[in-house]
Chains A and B, each alone.
Chain A
Amino acid sequence: MASVSELRNKYLRNLPTRFCPGCGNGIVLGAFIRAVDELRLKPKDMLMCSGIGCSSWTISPYFHADTLHTLHGRPIAFATGAKIVNPNLKVVVFSGDGDLASIGGNHLIHGARRNMDMTVICINNFNYGMTGGQVSPTTPLNSKTTTTPLGTNEKPFDISELVVAAGASYVARWTTYHARQLTKSIKKGMENRGFSFIEVLSQCPTYYGRLNRFKDAAEILNWFKENSTMEKEAEGKIFVGEFIDR
């Protein structure tokens, strides 16, 4: 296996990163690069699309391929146009819970319904990080954010279930604690000819973590470890693994 610095030199633009200490984006980017390397994909043939938000900065501009940093919520729509014109492009969308499940919800379900050949990686950190920690459609019930100071009373979306119902052909969910499993799912998603959706629950220690009494990033990772399960029917735990592979 290639070393971190080898991977970094091979796949990333040489730019300083702008993420907060403890941010989960680096783990997801690492898992993604390992998947690309193991699949021996050529970055020249890849198109990386992203929307607006912290998650979207994960690959834009860092991943050294054609990178299209689009409007808030719209990366799947932009990617659809590019993919149709050039079907040889390996299209990957990096986006977040606010981008995909809130402002861009329509494009997400229609991308899945069409089973457009692209891989969508959704970094779900339960809040709007870039704007300072507001409630998102995936904020867990009763969690505090800057716009739900008493705790949210709206039920969150299960984005993965939503995308399965909408017609995606490959859907999996992991957390940043499950970096190796995540790489495997990203590989599988990119090899699937159709709409692949990989949700990654990720830590935002700066906002969601701080407002909900997590001491640091490690504590959130531990929480992921203890509160996730690969058993589908387990009560009160987050299911991680494959939802569908069809």
Chain B
Amino acid sequence: MIKSSQVRFIQGNEACAEAAIAAGCRFFAGYPITPSTEIMEKMCKLLPSVNGHFMQMEDEIASISSVIGASWAGAKAMTATSGPGFSLMQEGIGYAAMTETPIVIVDVQRSGPSTGQATLVGQGDIMQARFGSHGDYEIIAVAPSTAQEMFDLTVDAFNLAETYRVPVIVLSDAMVGQNRERVTLRRDREIKIVDRKTPIGGEELFFGGDEIPPMPKFGDGFFVHITGSTHRADGIREETTVDVHEKLVTRLCAKIEKNKEKIVKFEEHFTEDADILVIGYGATARPSLGGVVTARERGIPAGFFRPVTIWPSPEKKLEELLEHAKTIILCECSLRGYKPEIERIAKRKAKIIHFPKIGGTVHTSTEVFNMIQRCI
């Protein structure tokens, strides 16, 4: 347990585990997979000292399943994975969304598809994070770009999960997760911690009524019924009634959609008068900013924009910036990545230059600068 603020030279993955503990996580289940295993190892080390529980499960499906079970038993719970493990967890993410279970999933992205480049950076899970499970649902995904943010955004992820009763994905990558950097492990009173709304008693509804209903825990005598089938506000399965499904799923999506402005976070530099907007996130954030700084030094009106919440996307802010900027350079380690979303927001008002870099490496600032120069 972090008693007082400490500065350490650690991996992003270790910072993530420290943050989870600080945010109140008391259950972790996982399965070894590169490049996220350090999170699991660190959680195994830290959890016993705070009376928490650690489980290495038989696979990623079991990991996310037990995390959901643990959350309903009253613990803040997390799992961490990468690549194929994240694919295996998709059904569980859909279940957590449908049953409004607050959980945190850390996806330290690696280069795919399939086993791909298991040890190297990739950003190909952007769309899977939001659309990977079947049916209509909404999740929240945040993308840290430094080891410090692996700490800060993991705390945020727990708070968002508890606030909105939704699975939250920390969409990191091999570069951010495994880089060693200086990280301030913030002490408890320096960080805001949010706990889920719990029922007081009486005839309360746990799956309807309020936009975000209170959540009971097992053993408290609420006789709660939880199901991934379409259910009424009292939790009882009623899967063939049009109204019941419509009401439930509309609310599940709306609770994120309506609160978008409260959830969304972004970072921007030199954007006010920027004609060229360089977008980078996660591993590509720093080289993108580096390229922009060089461009500014040479008098080129370039700006840097970084979505911190990938889902929901910072749509409103980006639209604002596109009033002025007419060219977007999107730097990412994927041939598809965030491109469809940026294209959707830009609505052909700006020229989008997609600048992917795949193969397990990240752009250099010089490469980004050269690309900016070519766009003048």
Contacts and interface: CB of A to CB of B under 8 A. Distances in A.
A86 to B, nearest CB: 4
A77 interface: yes
B222 A86 contact: no
Given A64-B223, A68-B69, A106-B62, A81 B55 contact: yes
B75 interface: yes
Q: Ordered nearest first, which 10 A-B pairs have the shortest CB separation?
A: A81-B66, A81-B69, A77-B65, A81-B70, A85-B73, A69-B227, A77-B62, A78-B69, A82-B69, A82-B73
Nearest to B218: A66
Contacts, number: 126
A40 interface: no
A66 B65 contact: no
B345 interface: no
B77 A81 contact: yes
Nearest to A61: B225
A140 to B, nearest CB: 29
Contacts of A82: 69-70, 72-73, 218
Interface in A57-84: 60-61, 64-71, 74, 77-84
A59 to B, nearest CB: 10
A70 B27 contact: no
Contacts of B235: 61
B160 interface: no
Nearest to A50: B227
Interface residues of A, number: 33
Nearest to A64: B223
Interface in A77-122: 77-86, 88-89, 106-107, 110
B223 A85 contact: no
B61 interface: yes
A101 to B, nearest CB: 15
Interface of A: 13, 15, 43-45, 47, 49, 60-61, 64-71, 74, 77-86, 88-89, 106-107, 110
Nearest to B236: A61
B273 interface: no
B57 to A, nearest CB: 7
B95 to A, nearest CB: 6
A43 B222 CA distance: 11
16 contacts: A43-B223, A44-B223, A60-B225, A66-B218, A66-B223, A67-B224, A69-B229, A69-B237, A77-B65, A77-B66, A78-B66, A79-B69, A81-B70, A85-B53, A107-B62, A107-B65
B58 A81 contact: no
B290 interface: no
B208 to A, nearest CB: 16
B226 A45 contact: no
A107 B63 CA distance: 11
Contact of B65 (A44, A64, A74): A74
A237 B188 CA distance: 64
Contacts of B372: none
B246 interface: no
A89 B73 contact: yes
Contacts of A80: 55, 57, 62, 65-66, 69
A167 to B, nearest CB: 13
B74 interface: yes
Nearest to A86: B73
Interface in B267-308: none
Give the one of B29, B57, B65, B68 with max A CB within 10 A: B65
A66 B227 contact: no
A45 B223 CA distance: 10
B66 A71 contact: no
A15 B66 CA distance: 29
Contacts of B181: none
Interface string B205-234: 000000000000111011111111100000
Contacts of A110: 57-58, 62
Given A71-B95, A81-B27, 5 more contacts: A13-B236, A64-B223, A86-B74, A106-B59, A110-B58
Contacts of A84: 27, 53, 55, 66, 70, 73
Nearest to B64: A77
A68 B219 contact: no
Contacts of B92: 71, 74
B91 interface: yes
Given A84-B27, A89-B73, A78 B68 contact: yes
Nearest to A80: B66
Nearest to B235: A61
A98 to B, nearest CB: 16
Given A61-B227, A81-B68, A66 B27 contact: no
A65 B222 CA distance: 8
A106 to B, nearest CB: 5
A112 to B, nearest CB: 11
B62 A86 contact: no
Contacts of A77: 57, 61-63, 65-66, 69
